Structure 1
Amino acid sequence: MQLRKLLVPGLISLTLLSGCSLFSGEEDVVKMSPLPTVENQFEPEKTWSTSVGSGIGDFYSNLHPAWQDGNVYAADRRGTVKAVNADDGKEVWSVDLSEKTNFYSSNLPALLSGGVTVEGAHVYVGSEKAQVYALNTSDGSIAWQSKAAGEVLSRPVVSDGLVLVHTSNGQLQAFDEADGAVKWTVNLDMPALSLRGESAPAVAFGAAIVGGDNGRVSAVLMKQGQLIWQQRISQATGATEIDRLSDVDTTPVIVNGVVYALAYNGNLTALDLRSGQVMWKRELGSVNDFIVDANRIFLVDQNDRVVALNADGGVTLWTQSDLLHRNLTSPVLYNGYLVVADSEGYMHWINADDGRFVAQQKVDSSGFQTEPVVASDKLLIQAKDGTLYAIKR
Structure 2
Amino acid sequence: MQLRKTLVVGMLSLAFLSGCSLFSGEEDVVTMSPLPKVENQFTPTKVWSSSVGSGLDGHYSNLRPAWQGDRVFAADRKGLVKAMDLANGKELWRADLSIKRGFLSSRESALLSGGVTVSGDRVYVGSERAEVFALNAADGTLAWQSTAAGEVLSRPVVSDGVVLVHTSNGMLQALNESDGAIKWTVNLDIPTLSLRGESAPATAFGAAIVGGDNGRVNAVLINQGQLIWQQRISQPSGATEIDRLNDVDTTPVIVGELVYALGYNGNMTALDLRSGQIVWKRELGSVQDFVVDGDRIYVVDKNDRVVALSTNGGVNLWRQSDLLHRNLTGPALYNGYLVVGDSEGYLHWINTADGRFVAQHKVDSSGFLSDPVVASDKLLIQAKNGDVYAFTR
Common fold, TM-score beyond 0.5? yes
- Once the two structures are TM-superposed, the CA of residue 69 in structure 1 deviates from its matched residue by 1.4
Instruction: Provide closer, same or farther for how the CA distance between residues 213 and 16 of structure 1 changes in structure 2, counting only shifts above 3 A.
Output: farther
Instruction: Provide closer, same or farther for how the CA distance between residues 206 and 242 of structure 1 changes in structure 2, counting only shifts above 3 A.
Output: same
Give the SS at the match of 2:74: strand
Identity of aligned residues (%): 71
Provide the residue aligned with 2:24 in structure 1: 23
Distance in structure 2 (CA, Å) of the matches to 1:28 and 1:85: 47
Distance in structure 1 (CA, Å) of the matches to 2:276 and 2:327: 32
Distance in structure 2 (CA, Å) of the matches to 1:218 and 1:99: 35
Provide the residue aligned with 1:4 in structure 2: 6
Provide the residue aligned with 1:119 in structure 2: 119
Q: Which amino acid aligns with 2:280?
A: W
Q: Which structure 2 residues correspond to residues 109-258 of structure 1 after superposition, within 5 A?
A: 109-258=109-258
Give the SS at the match of 2:155: coil
- Once the two structures are TM-superposed, the CA of residue 312 in structure 1 deviates from its matched residue by 1.2
- Once the two structures are TM-superposed, the CA of residue 16 in structure 1 deviates from its matched residue by 9.4
Tell me, which stretches of 5 or more residues in structure 2 are unaligned?
Answer: none
Distance in structure 2 (CA, Å) of the matches to 1:22 and 1:214: 20
Q: Which amino acid aligns with 2:130?
A: A
Distance in structure 2 (CA, Å) of the matches to 1:279 and 1:298: 19
Q: Which amino acid aligns with 1:248?
A: V
Tell me, which stretches of 5 or more residues in structure 1 are unaligned?
Answer: none
What TM-score do the two structures reach when normalised by structure 2? Answer: 0.97
Provide the residue aligned with 2:299 in structure 1: 299
Give the SS at the match of 2:140: coil
Query: CA-to-partner distance for each residue in 1:97-156, whole Å, 9 max, x for gaps?
Result: 000111677300000000000000000000000000000001100000000000000000
The answer to whether residue 312 in structure 2 is matched with residue 284 in structure 1 is: no
Give the SS at the match of 1:355: coil
Provide the residue aligned with 1:368 in structure 2: 368
1:7–1:60 contact (8 Å) kept in structure 2: no
Question: Which structure has the higher relative contact order (CA within 8 Å, separation 6+)?
Answer: 1
- Once the two structures are TM-superposed, the CA of residue 207 in structure 1 deviates from its matched residue by 0.3
2:378–2:392 contact (8 Å) kept in structure 1: yes
2:267–2:285 contact (8 Å) kept in structure 1: yes
Distance in structure 2 (CA, Å) of the matches to 1:106 and 1:7: 33
Q: Which amino acid aligns with 1:185?
A: T
Q: Which amino acid aligns with 1:305?
A: R
- Once the two structures are TM-superposed, the CA of residue 5 in structure 1 deviates from its matched residue by 1.3
2:208–2:221 contact (8 Å) kept in structure 1: yes
- Once the two structures are TM-superposed, the CA of residue 70 in structure 1 deviates from its matched residue by 0.2
2:15–2:22 contact (8 Å) kept in structure 1: no
Instruction: Provide closer, same or farther for how the CA distance between residues 247 and 104 of structure 1 changes in structure 2, counting only shifts above 3 A.
Output: farther
Distance in structure 2 (CA, Å) of the matches to 1:217 and 1:154: 16
What TM-score do the two structures reach when normalised by structure 1? Answer: 0.97
Give the SS at the match of 1:107: strand
Instruction: Provide closer, same or farther for how the CA distance between residues 17 and 31 of structure 1 changes in structure 2, counting only shifts above 3 A.
Output: closer
Structure 1 window deviating more from structure 2 (248-257 vs 98-107): it is: 98-107
Which consecutive aligned stretches of 4+ in structure 1 deviate over 2 angstroms post-superposition?
Answer: 6-9, 11-21, 103-106
Give the SS at the match of 1:84: strand
Provide the residue aligned with 1:106 in structure 2: 106
Query: CA-to-partner distance for each residue in 1:18-77, whole Å, 9 max, x for gaps?
Result: 75541341x212110000000000001111001000000321101000001101000000
Distance in structure 2 (CA, Å) of the matches to 1:40 and 1:20: 39
1:115–1:125 contact (8 Å) kept in structure 2: yes
2:174–2:183 contact (8 Å) kept in structure 1: yes
Provide the residue aligned with 2:389 in structure 1: 389
